[in-house]
Amino acid sequence: MKELLTFLAQSLVEHPEAVSVTEEDRDDVTVFHLTVAPSDLGKVIGRQGRIARAVRNVVSAAAYRQSKRVIVDIHEN
């Protein structure tokens, strides 16, 4: 799922080399911290959070197929 999130984020931004994803395990949930360049933050979030919501839905659907729970946090570099 980390690779999926990285691919989606790099496809959206102007500076794909600045995209990084770190993984943190908490109890029964995996938290992915997506970090992008400050100039690309708006492109990843989208208007009213629509793109961020879509990215979270895709990653959650992939996790559901593996019987896992995930959270995606978006940060600027």
Burial of 55 (0-12, 13-18, 19+ CB in 10 A): buried
pTM of full prediction above 0.85 = yes
Residue extents of the structural domains in the chain:
2-76
Looking at residues 52-64, what average pLDDT do you find? 97
* 39 sits in which H/E element: none
pLDDT 10s digits, 1-30:
999 999 999 999 999 999 999 999 999 999
Tell the CATH topology of 2-76: GMP Synthetase; Chain A, domain 3 (3.30.300)
Mark 2-40 as b/e (b = at least 16 C-beta within 10 Å). Answer: eebbbebbbebbeeeebbebeeeeeeeebebebbbbeeb
pLDDT tens for each residue of 24-41: 999 999 999 999 999 999
